[in-house]
Structure 1
């Protein structure tokens, strides 16, 4: 089966060695951070759809998002951390962060593994089949660029790296950060970011990047308060304005 190239392109834009310990005390003992696992995916996927609605993937529903998030948890390059309310039944997830310690390596691994990518692509097509308004939006905003990329991808000749060339620095990407509304301004978002940065720095990342909408649903103020550097901004195929923020975590060149 041929994988739709548009799916690969969306994955690239969405844009493990030591992971989070089982439990890290936080906020007077009531909240804790721990490594995300399969048991957390239902809560994480629902939160992603509800709290991070920008982009194509959230519009495909929680079932698709859950399968997509699992690719990070199953990847040696993935990082996932949840904040849980230990006073609630079954440690309720109140926030999460998800991403890759080496985004280029994660994307390359995923696009080469048909055992993972084919089911993900089929899940995306199934979601579109029951969401005709989303399918129409995809055809209107993405079909032509995807076709051009497919043709360009076929025409590209891959040349071997030159001897003595310097490898690009490892860049981690924080793909998703969400905190339930009732827990905002409690410091959970900053704690999750700090933990993510700590984990990717331990595995050699030189930079961490995150993308957010510049509109009312975005978090530009949050990243600016953290001191992250504002980088490029652009319009998505759906017309949303998005900005990239970057934070240096490795030693200077």
Structure 2
């Protein structure tokens, strides 16, 4: 989920001026601040509602994956203060497949998620109502397809990079930080061989449809949020050809 960053449309990654915020690769030491920023700045969807501890564990899967990426923007006047961040994948199918096969990572996510649900009964009820039933139907369909009794899964159409989350602190919006993060993601994904990039953003006040359209992303289908919040719109960007 990508939130409201800032404005401006460059043709390549802007070069920061002296004293400007520094964009660098995220590290494990950044995860506590990144996760808190995600919960505060992008409180949309299930994962942020599970709290910063779960989001921190989720962000870690991107940093630990050969198909994941993470960036932060730090204010040089206040080292350690993250004013923007981004997490995503350069090959989303490969990332999710590898994550599903990593029993330790999946167990850590499950334990952290269940712990969060135990102290958030309303979130647990919403999960059962909006997510558990669709997940069960999807799993049943996948099993039928694997056994030959159901429709086959669609063929993969090239490597797809996915921007999972991008956010900029309100005090820094309009400074070009969001543009720098988005362009760095595009460069990284293209260098890693991705054919196209995708993201989803809310159509409500926390969304950033206009921002991505100004950067050349093409609007795709709109779909209702499974949590009953504002609808989500998918955006695509061709990285090759």
Unpaired stretches in structure 2, ≥5 consecutive residues: 3-13, 149-154
Cα offset, 1:156, TM superposition: 2.5
Secondary structure at the residue paired with 1:227?
A: coil
CA distance in 2, matches of 1:154, 1:195: 38
Unpaired stretches in structure 1, ≥5 consecutive residues: 1-12, 15-23, 160-165
Cα offset, 1:141, TM superposition: 1.6
Alignment length (residue pairs)? 223
1:124 aligns with 113
RMSD over aligned Cα, in angstroms? 1.9
**How do 1:86-125 and structure 2 match up within 5 A?**
86-88=76-78, 90-125=79-114
Select the residue among 215, 220, 231 that pairs with 1:231: 220
1:140 aligns with 129
**How do 1:188-227 and structure 2 match up within 5 A?**
188-227=177-216
Q: Which has the higher contact order (CA 8 A, sep 6+)?
A: 2
**How do 1:61-100 and structure 2 match up within 5 A?**
61-88=51-78, 90-100=79-89
TM-score by length of 2: 0.87
Secondary structure at the residue paired with 1:157?
A: helix
CA distance in 2, matches of 1:158, 1:98: 35
Deviations along 1:62-108, one digit per CA (max 9) or x if unpaired, are 000000000000000011111111111x3311101110000010001
1:21 aligns with none
Secondary structure at the residue paired with 1:237?
A: coil
TM-score by length of 1: 0.83
